[in-house]
Structure 1
Amino acid sequence: MDLTSASNLLSNNVKILKSEASKTAYQGVLIAISSILIATCLVSFYVNNSISLENLWTAQKNNIALWILDVIPFVFGIWGQHSSSIMAYQAGALIFDQTQELRNRTIDLEKHTNHVSTHDLLTDLPNRALFYDRVARAIASANPHNSQLSILLIEIENFKDVYDTLGRNSSDHILKQISIRLQGASAESDSVAKIDGNVFGILISNSADLSEAEQLAKHIQKAMEAPFVIDRLQVGMHANIGIVHFPGHGEDVDTLVQKAGVALHIAQKSAKGYALYELSFDKHTPLRLTLMSELRRAIEKNDLALFYQPKVSIQTNELYGAEALARWNHPTHGFIAPDEFIPMAERTRMIKQLTQWVLKRAFRDCATWHEQGIDIKISVNLSTRDLHDPDLPDLIAGIAAATGIKPEWIILEITESAVMNEPENALAIINRLHDMGYQFSIDDFGTGYSSLAYLKRLPLAELKIDKSFVMDLMNSENDVAIVKAIINLAHNLGLYVTAEGVETNAILEKLKEYNCDIAQGYYLSKPLPVTEFNNWVKKSKAPACPALKSNTLISGAMEKYQSEISR
């Protein structure tokens, strides 16, 4: 508000207040005149015992007190006017001052509200909204000049432990110290922001060298090395940092921050504590989101395929069984690897439907082969979620009844990690299925938790050596020692041993030398669809397995193996 406007406002307020005060003054004068008339009438009546104009005039002329009383209304009126003018001006000025103060307070409140909406209350750093806005502005500024910028997301890894141990006040104090250290480590202190509870962000704009971001990450790690002192207690804090670059990793704020979050997740597992985003890190691309919904439809429409990889007795060269493996040939994206869609099914809780589909197909095919006189065992994989599904035994019982298979024809493959995740619940499911007659195999042995305490409690029939130990058997003494130890351990526990990843005849001969029972791998055969698997069985010699002398299927092969192990 300018000076002229303020003067006009004050003048108007004074006029309004003065007119109100003048009305009151006039009322006072009228009351005073009325009092004089009443007093004159009383004097006239008291002196002359009557009230007349002549007596009133005589009273006024002869009574000095009435003279003085006559003057009072004029004095009161003049003084009232003067006082009302002063009071009106003062009141107007007071109202103006209070109005201006209120307006200033309103402006300050608006500024504070705007600041709070864009800054973190605890650290006074820019919050997520302001950080995103600054990144968007930096991108808009960088585009015309083909400039580069970088974003760092910093997460305080052990902050929750500190919060749970020391409480809110101490953890808040640590966050303040961390924010100060980050501002000190960054060349531009205003580029640091607090994104979330224990997550900070740093924007490096107009970066001439993309390695500057990694250098800053190292400076931050070094800044965090000094302990934080809280109530005489020294606390060590650890930071993980995800790094992305514009425009290489994205061209908008949301994409850059999302990919920085992916890099941050990788940094949590990195020894360096920081990671630069790579495309291979990201498991949450739009394609994957599409595949999640399409996988459900593929299961419902029976668009998946079940392949079988033969398992051959090493000592007799006879077919022992086959492992059922789900395959997905997408009509648009082609072959989708099991390592991609099976974890996807586990994350989206579709694994139950996928397992049910595999069990139905595998049990049906197994029943068909046994009707044809082909006495083999079919191995079916169970996931971690399957082993914690209390309905699994009933589901398998229903499928078995519908397909007409016998439990001894099936081997259910489980992993060590699946058992070790809530082991008591998993053991309860496993024991129920074992009581129904199903046998179990530990898959990928040696790559999980390898808890012998739980291994001895499992009702196992088979132990499978992971292919990572088998494929380099001819070149690694360590792998030789591991394979021998696993075979001896399994035989001492009364279990068969299956070696996965048999790629050459030399490996097959080595396994035979170590008394391994069963081989599985590309040297024998790759996974085959049902028709090709049937053709493989019918041939007198399997083309992928020159060492296989005969494809004669031995009925009761399991009993023979058990007698061999017992000897």
Structure 2
Amino acid sequence: MNVRNGSTSDFLHNNVKVLRSRVSKTAWQGISIAVIALIVATLTVSHLEYGDISVTHLINVQKTNFALWILDVIPFVFAFWGQYSSTVLAYEASAMVMDQTKELRDKADTFEKQARHSITHDLLTDMPNKELFYDRVEQQIVSPRGKVAFSVLLVEVSNYKEISDTLGRNSSDSLIKQVAVRLESAFPPPWTIARLESNTFSLLINQQLTEKQVMELADSVHRVLHDVFYIEQVKLSAQANIGIVHFPQHGTDVDTLVQRAGIALYMAQNSNKGSAVYDPSFDAHSPKQLTLMSELHQSIENQELELFYQPKVRVKDGVLTGAEALVRWNHPKHGLLGPDLFIPLMERSRLIQGLTSWVIQEGFAQCAQWHQEGLDIVLSINLSAKDLNNPELPDLIAGIKGATGINPAWITLEITESSLMTDPDAAMAVINRIHAMGFQFSIDDYGTGYSSLSYLKQLPLKELKIDRSFVSDIVQNESDAVIVNATINLAHNLGLEVTAEGVEDADTLALLKAEGCDIVQGYYLGRPMTKDAFSQWSQEQESPSETGPH
């Protein structure tokens, strides 16, 4: 502290010396002018009174002329006042400079603190975000207290999307803020409350609790969120589900713990209590996917993943125009697994970004190779909701594009309507950056999401895909046929191509052709197949005039 005060004093003293010297210079100029004026006045008075100028006459006028006495005093006044003013102004100017410098430094420190804070905290609620929560769980695991059991709770506001769709995003954001305030006030430090996703909070209980205490804690969360919320004078209730895991009983790393908490959350959604503690017996309530979590980390490293390709055929002439890349897991024990068995688990953790990177790398490279071989098709690649909220995705795609030499016109990136709902602004920013590179987008599973029309007019789309749930029964179900017809007309009016998924028979294909559908895919045209099988299949196609099963 003394050193700092000393340096401040020296800084002030040096500034005063510099400023004082500049002000003093002006003061001396004033003194010089006053002296010259005095001399001129004395000479003039001597000449007027005596008719000439001599030393004797000069002395006499100085003794007898009162006006000259006043002029004699002025240089001394200038000298005194100049020195005094220079000192005061120098100190004031230096102090002002120091104050402004300190203010700028304080603002810079504030901005730096805000930037550091925004990296680890949720912008809407100011709670710790996923990165900070994961870090605190990892610190709890590796710290000397790591041998002490602790618990993690996932709290999901299950009716968040319903509120968002009904009242709009501002209202749903207001609800989340109020939920955050209640949770933070009910569960203060040292426990950690974080917001992981749009409607999901996490609670780290960094102490060992009995099973009864944990369930009582879950009940208290329900009580905290039970009272109604007021959103723009509308009464709303928050419906909460809670998934619970314990360390080390249910996992020894943060990803496994959060994944299994997600499984417990899934079970809680279907229970009367609205809360559940993970148990291995839950595996019996879901296909093999719940037993695969601990193996997901190594699936990419062990090269167990493989891309399959399903043909997309032009309806009017049966020409192969593209393919959709679909990931499969060649599991060493369970055999070939479809994406529905493991991608949802990846999306609950940070593994989905690694999977997306791998799929884009493999898909771009294979598409480039096919074009080199003369197979002119467009490859469709699916992006998840987490991908659209990853600001690094455009740079990732740009890097892989450069490495593989892919032409963006050869790629269509498929997104779902629901993937836009988590953070529409962030998703639109990512989509526009990728589109600026020349890549096209397609809305996948059209009709199963939210706010379809509002986003159709905003997104840079090339294609609209009708979900198989509407296509598979259009021959027998008149309502589905009407929906498909309306969707095709809407897309064409917007200048979009229409692809129908789930074409399983000739009658469905014929009806889609009559309705003006552009492209079809489904088992009737071709099942998903390996890259080698797809290359051979494309060479064995019948003449373009015939469209049928292959």
TM range (shorter): 0.5 to 0.7
Q: Is 2:360–2:381's contact at 8 Å kept on the other side of the alignment?
A: yes
CA distance in 2, matches of 1:461, 1:352: 25
Alpha-carbon offset, residue 451 of structure 1: 3.3
SS at match of 1:453: helix
CA distance in 2, matches of 1:443, 1:292: 26
SS at match of 1:400: helix
Q: Is 1:473–1:480's contact at 8 Å kept on the other side of the alignment?
A: yes
Q: Residue deviations 1:471-523, cap 9 Å, x none? A: 12122222112211211111111000000000011110111111111000000
Query: What residue number does 1:53 align with?
Result: none
Alpha-carbon offset, residue 321 of structure 1: 0.5
Q: Is 1:262–1:282's contact at 8 Å kept on the other side of the alignment?
A: no
CA distance in 2, matches of 1:318, 1:329: 31
Instruction: Please tell me the residue identity of whatever aligns with 1:469.
Output: F
Task: Please give the TM-score of this superposition, normalised by the length of structure 1.
Answer: 0.51
Query: What residue number does 1:404 align with?
Result: 405
Instruction: Please tell me the residue identity of whatever aligns with 2:298.
Output: E
Runs of 4+ that moved beyond 6 A: 155-163, 165-169, 235-242, 260-264, 271-278, 283-286
Query: What residue number does 2:138 align with?
Result: none
Residue 547 (structure 2) pairs with residue 548 (structure 1): yes
SS at match of 1:503: coil
Query: What residue number does 2:296 align with?
Result: 292
CA distance in 1, matches of 2:328, 2:399: 24
CA distance in 2, matches of 1:416, 1:310: 23
Query: What residue number does 1:75 align with?
Result: none
RMSD: 4.8
SS at match of 1:199: helix
Return closer, same or farther for 1:546/1:300 CA change in 2, 3 Å cut-off: farther
Residue 218 (structure 2) pairs with residue 199 (structure 1): yes
1:246-261 matches, within 5 Å, as none
Alpha-carbon offset, residue 344 of structure 1: 2.2
Query: What residue number does 1:335 align with?
Result: 336
Alpha-carbon offset, residue 339 of structure 1: 0.9
Query: What is the number of equivalent residue pairs in this alignment?
Result: 340
Q: Is 1:381–1:414's contact at 8 Å kept on the other side of the alignment?
A: yes
Q: Is 1:266–1:281's contact at 8 Å kept on the other side of the alignment?
A: no
Alpha-carbon offset, residue 345 of structure 1: 2.1
Instruction: Please tell me the residue identity of whatever aligns with 2:218.
Output: V
Query: What residue number does 1:319 align with?
Result: 320
Alpha-carbon offset, residue 195 of structure 1: 3.6
SS at match of 1:379: strand
| Runs of at least 5 residues in structure 1 that lack an aligned partner in the other structure | 1-154, 170-191, 202-224, 229-234, 243-252, 552-567
Q: Is 1:157–1:237's contact at 8 Å kept on the other side of the alignment?
A: no
CA distance in 1, matches of 2:445, 2:432: 21
SS at match of 1:469: helix
Query: What residue number does 1:521 align with?
Result: 522
Query: What residue number does 1:41 align with?
Result: none
Q: Is 2:288–2:341's contact at 8 Å kept on the other side of the alignment?
A: no
SS at match of 2:498: strand
Return closer, same or farther for 1:518/1:466 CA change in 2, 3 Å cut-off: same
Q: Is 2:470–2:484's contact at 8 Å kept on the other side of the alignment?
A: yes
CA distance in 1, matches of 2:296, 2:507: 42
Return closer, same or farther for 1:317/1:200 CA change in 2, 3 Å cut-off: same
SS at match of 1:433: helix
Q: Residue deviations 1:396-416, cap 9 Å, x none? A: 122122222211111111111
Q: Is 1:366–1:405's contact at 8 Å kept on the other side of the alignment?
A: yes
Query: What residue number does 1:440 align with?
Result: 441
CA distance in 2, matches of 1:322, 1:354: 19
Alpha-carbon offset, residue 320 of structure 1: 0.9
CA distance in 2, matches of 1:283, 1:481: 35
CA distance in 2, matches of 1:156, 1:496: 37
SS at match of 1:528: coil
CA distance in 1, matches of 2:301, 2:289: 24
Moved more, 373-382 or 533-542: 533-542
CA distance in 2, matches of 1:254, 1:402: 41
Return closer, same or farther for 1:239/1:199 CA change in 2, 3 Å cut-off: farther
Alpha-carbon offset, residue 386 of structure 1: 1.5
Return closer, same or farther for 1:313/1:280 CA change in 2, 3 Å cut-off: farther
CA distance in 1, matches of 2:272, 2:367: 50
Please identify the structure whose Cα radius of gyration is greater: 1
| Runs of at least 5 residues in structure 2 that lack an aligned partner in the other structure | 1-155, 160-174, 187-210, 221-225, 229-234, 243-248, 252-257
Query: What residue number does 1:431 align with?
Result: 432
Q: Is 1:500–1:521's contact at 8 Å kept on the other side of the alignment?
A: yes
Instruction: Please tell me the residue identity of whatever aligns with 2:472.
Output: M
CA distance in 2, matches of 1:424, 1:241: 27
Query: What residue number does 1:498 align with?
Result: 499
CA distance in 2, matches of 1:323, 1:237: 42
CA distance in 2, matches of 1:493, 1:261: 43
1:7-156 matches, within 5 Å, as none
Instruction: Please tell me the residue identity of whatever aligns with 2:491.
Output: A
Alpha-carbon offset, residue 331 of structure 1: 1.4
Instruction: Please tell me the residue identity of whatever aligns with 2:309.
Output: Y
Alpha-carbon offset, residue 264 of structure 1: 7.5
Q: Residue deviations 1:59-113, cap 9 Å, x none? A: xxxxxxxxxxxxxxxxxxxxxxxxxxxxxxxxxxxxxxxxxxxxxxxxxxxxxxx
Q: Is 1:194–1:200's contact at 8 Å kept on the other side of the alignment?
A: no
Return closer, same or farther for 1:480/1:402 CA change in 2, 3 Å cut-off: same
SS at match of 2:432: helix
Instruction: Please tell me the residue identity of whatever aligns with 2:295.
Output: L
Residue 474 (structure 2) pairs with residue 455 (structure 1): no
CA distance in 2, matches of 1:157, 1:409: 39
Query: What residue number does 2:364 align with?
Result: 363
Return closer, same or farther for 1:546/1:521 CA change in 2, 3 Å cut-off: farther
Return closer, same or farther for 1:239/1:343 CA change in 2, 3 Å cut-off: closer
Instruction: Please tell me the residue identity of whatever aligns with 1:337.
Output: G
Q: Is 2:525–2:548's contact at 8 Å kept on the other side of the alignment?
A: no
